[in-house]
Amino acid sequence: MTPAEQSIAAEQICRLAPVVPVLIVEDVATAVPLAKALVAGGLPALEVTLRTKAALEVIRAMAEVEGGVVGAGTLLTRADVKAAKAAGAQFGVSPGATQGLIEACEDEGLALLPGASSASEAMALLERGYTMQKFFPAEQAGGAAFLKALSSPLPQVRFCPTGGISLKNAGDYLSLPNVLCVGGSWVAPKDAIAAGNWAEVTRLAAGAAALPRS
């Protein structure tokens, strides 16, 4: 998969809904009901971060949920990419971008949303062919004002900002012409998952899915 093909695939996923849930799942038993609740609320693209021992099994389980498009977040190494693809991930998300990671995703045919937090990083990825990028850590790296400033010199690049984003500030990002969606964990709070309160997850997802974007 070429960088251009990866960017097209990543952009299509980012256009599915204004919010991509960023999920840290400890127990694989919650994977299917959590995915179903989010999809029912209108958020089909699901980023399962590789931050728990259960993450790959969670991806494998969520990949079977009808209507869901499951990806692996926090990709750091070639091994991460191979394992995520084998588990059924349809896209990958990384906090930054290294040569090895990019090549691994290209070799495995895994659509990649590579991370950038500066103009130079965004330009380097664009030079390689990645027009769809993750902006991380969004709030700490300059927030919506920074992305607005990038929209003029880098109009070819679209972003999915992630990091410190909540219902309160998501609209600031989604109103920008170079933002297709945001990543956020508020739609799947730990207490609701622990309690099996899937109706609450669906309610939060529906609110996020209704957010307007430019």
pLDDT above 90 for 4: no
- The reply to whether 141 falls in a domain is yes
CATH classification of the domain holding 91: 3.20.20.70
- The reply to whether 155 falls in a domain is yes
Task: Name the residues annotated as catalytic.
Answer: 47, 134
Which domain does 170 fall in, by range? 3-209
pTM, entire model: 0.97
Q: Looking at residue 3, what is its pLDDT?
A: 86
Residue the block writes with tokens 């998300």: 93
Give the model's confidence band at 104: pLDDT under 50 very low, under 70 low, under 90 confident, else very high: very high
Omega before residue 137 within 30° of 0, cis: yes
pLDDT in tens, 6-64: 889 999 999 999 999 999 999 999 999 999 999 999 999 999 999 999 999 999 999 99
Strands 158-161 and 182-184: unpaired
Q: How many CA atoms lie within 13 A of 186 on its CB side?
A: 18
Q: Tally the domains of the chain.
A: 1
- The reply to whether 214 falls in a domain is no
**Cα-based angle 56, 28, 93 (whole degrees, multiple of 5):** 35
pLDDT in tens, 120-155: 999 999 999 999 999 999 999 999 999 999 999 999
Measure the CA–CA gap between 89 and 76, rounded to whole angstroms: 15
Fill in the DSSP letter of residue 65: S
CB-based contacts of 146, cutoff 8 Å, min separation 6: none
pLDDT in tens, 155-194: 999 999 999 999 999 999 999 999 999 999 999 999 999 9
